[in-house]
Amino acid sequence: MRRILRTEGAWLHDDEGSAILDAISSWWVITHGHRHPLIMKAIREACDSFDQIIFAEYTHEPAEELAKGLLAIAPEGLAHVFYSDSGSTCVEVALKMALGYFHNIGEPRSRIVVMEHSYHGDTIGTMSAGERGVFNAAYQSLLFSVDQVPFPLPGHEQNTLDAFEQLCRSGQVAALLIEPLVLGAGGMLMYPASLLTELKRIAEKYGTLLIADEVMTGWGRTGTLFACDQAGITPDILCTSKGLTGGALPLAATLCCPQIFDAHLSTDRTKTFFHSSSYTANPIACAAGLANLEVWKNEPVHARIRSLEAMHRERLERFAIDPRFSNIRQTGTIVALDLSVSASGYLSDAGPKLRAFFRSRNLLIRPLGNVIYLMTPYCVDETDLDRAYGAIDEAADMLAVGVR
Ligand code: PMP
């Protein structure tokens, strides 16, 4: 354990005087950099007027303004915002919206389709939707069943589409819940935007809703503000958290299209969307979210992302023909490489060894088993990246089974 005293930009400063490069954005939340001045200022100012306020019958300006701002930049057609406080909760909200929608329109569909290797959170509902394995084996009896389509391995994309269409034909599928373009915790697995476009087309054909879990992929990580933008689709429901406040405070939002909102809007109170947790729309977190929107508007964030993408691309090249690695991949600012070890998978021995090695080099990099990935804040520079890639190279010398 290392005790952090202070954060700044891409760095964590510990109580032994070391500066640690946060190469995974503190579990993918920090987008611009730690303690972005405008976001911290907005938080301080919000504290002069607000703490938590009930968000039923009462409202406040930070939540209203943030909702308007979000809808202005989200894929066109999303029209309503529901706040919660984490990635898991905003996906739970999405699942409830989907089932509530079909329940309220008198067409009770109840099946949820997910993609193999998905991760959607660690609550019971989101674990149910995620890949089953060591993380949730102990709770198996509590998890509900979902249908799964195979991950679209290159050259086998049609199998995924066919499997989805086959499931949709039953008329029972309420929604496809999917991480667009990059499956994060499942191993930074990447697939092309065209596949997402096709999945949306099939969903529409069968009246199935598409829920985009943009908890990780949102806020520029994949190169565009939302990953769905690259597929040219508007999901029926979009989940966002992490970078929503630039990562500074916990906040989440589930955006939905008018038909879902309308199905819950009624004088018949049995149709109400019954979901209201204590910290919904925390005003200070919403103020941080609003400041984040200002940063996106007023600073060259897109240019920073493009330059970070290029810096990665250049540095990844040398690994492409390196037998110590396979499956070198990049989507926007996210890069991943599989280290060739004798035992792969999340519980591979390589994971803890690599973590310890990176820690010893003052780098916060936490491989997913033998999958080494980088997902830095956008403020990193070439020297920071050289340091990270240099350490990956060294780590491979220590552990890889391949021959140079
Ligand atoms: N969905 C995705 C795609 C995620 O990557 C995560 C977290 N890594 C979650 C949901 C859950 O978010 P949280 O940890 O904030 O509950």
pLDDT in tens, 257-302: 999 999 999 999 999 999 889 999 999 999 999 999 999 999 999 9
Q: Which atom of ligand 1 is nearest to the CA of 184?
A: 5
17 C-alpha to center of ligand 1: Å? 31
For residue 402, is pLDDT > 90? no
What is the spatial distance between Cα 101 and Cα 84, in angstroms, rounded to a whole number?
19
120 C-alpha to center of ligand 1: Å? 5
Return phi, psi of residue 269, to 5°. Answer: -70, -10
pLDDT in tens, 23-38: 999 999 999 999 999 9
Helix (H, G, I), strand (E, B) or coil at 376: coil
- 245 CB less than 6 Å from ligand 1? no
308 C-alpha to center of ligand 1: Å? 23
pLDDT, average across residues 140-156: 98
Identify the residue whose C-alpha is closest to ligand 1 atom 10.
Answer: 120
What pLDDT band is residue 376 in, cutting at 50, 70 and 90?
A: very high
**What does each C-alpha distance from 104 to 91, 98, 110, 260, 269 come to in angstroms?**
20, 10, 12, 9, 11
What is the spatial distance between Cα 55 and Cα 276, in angstroms, rounded to a whole number?
8
For residue 304, is pLDDT > 80? yes
Residue 317: burial class (beta carbons within 10 Å; 0-12, 13-18, 19+): exposed
215 C-alpha to center of ligand 1: Å? 6
- 215 CB less than 6 Å from ligand 1? yes
The answer to whether residues 143 and 128 touch, using CB atoms and an 8 Å cutoff, is yes
What is the spatial distance between Cα 404 and Cα 397, in angstroms, rounded to a whole number?
9
Query: How many C-beta atoms lie closer than 10 Å to residue 68's C-beta?
Result: 12
Residue 255: burial class (beta carbons within 10 Å; 0-12, 13-18, 19+): buried
pTM for the model: 0.97
- 129 CB less than 6 Å from ligand 1? no
The label of the residue with tokens 């690259």 reads 230
pLDDT in tens, 334-347: 999 999 988 766 67
Q: Which domains are delineated in the chain?
A: 4-32+300-400 (3.90.1150.10), 39-298 (3.40.640.10)
- 186 CB less than 6 Å from ligand 1? no
pLDDT at 350: 84
Mean pLDDT of the chain: 96
28 C-alpha to center of ligand 1: Å? 9
- 252 CB less than 6 Å from ligand 1? no
For residue 140, is pLDDT > 80? yes
The answer to whether residues 385 and 40 touch, using CB atoms and an 8 Å cutoff, is no
**What does each C-alpha distance from 342 to 220, 282, 400 come to in angstroms?**
35, 47, 8
What pLDDT band is residue 389 in, cutting at 50, 70 and 90?
A: very high
Q: Please count the helices (runs of H) and the strands (runs of E) in the chain.
A: 13, 16
What is the spatial distance between Cα 330 and Cα 188, in angstroms, rounded to a whole number?
9
Packing angle of the helix pair 301-316, 382-399 (nearest 10 deg):
30
Which residue among 29, 88, 214, 237 is best mutated to probe the pocket of ligand 1, counting the most ligand atoms within 8 A of its Cβ? 88
| Six token digits for residue 151 | 């991950």
Q: Which residues contact 368 (CB under 8 A, 6 or more apart)?
A: 185, 187, 188, 346, 351
Return phi, psi of residue 343, to 5°. Answer: -120, 115
pLDDT, average across residues 306-316: 98
pLDDT, average across residues 390-403: 84
| Six token digits for residue 277 | 């947790």
Give the distance, in angstroms, between the CA of residue 311 and the centroid of all CA atoms in the same chain.
22
The answer to whether residues 357 and 395 touch, using CB atoms and an 8 Å cutoff, is yes
pLDDT in tens, 220-230: 999 999 999 99
Q: DSSP letter for 82, please.
A: E
Identify the residue whose C-alpha is closest to ligand 1 atom 14.
Answer: 87
Residue 150: burial class (beta carbons within 10 Å; 0-12, 13-18, 19+): middle
- 88 CB less than 6 Å from ligand 1? yes
HEC letters along 256-279: ECHHHHHHHCCCCHHHCCCCCCCC
**Dihedral sign from CA coordinates of 310, 311, 316, 318:** positive
- 104 CB less than 6 Å from ligand 1? no
| Six token digits for residue 239 | 């989940």
The label of the residue with tokens 């306020």 reads 53
Q: Which atom of ligand 1 is nearest to the CA of 250?
A: 15
What is the spatial distance between Cα 225 and Cα 230, in angstroms, rounded to a whole number?
9
104 C-alpha to center of ligand 1: Å? 28
The answer to whether residues 196 and 222 touch, using CB atoms and an 8 Å cutoff, is no
Provide the β-strand partners of residue 371.
338, 368
Q: Which atom of ligand 1 is nearest to the CA of 87?
A: 12
- Indicate the residue type of 392: I
**What does each C-alpha distance from 360 to 17, 118, 365 come to in angstroms?**
14, 31, 11
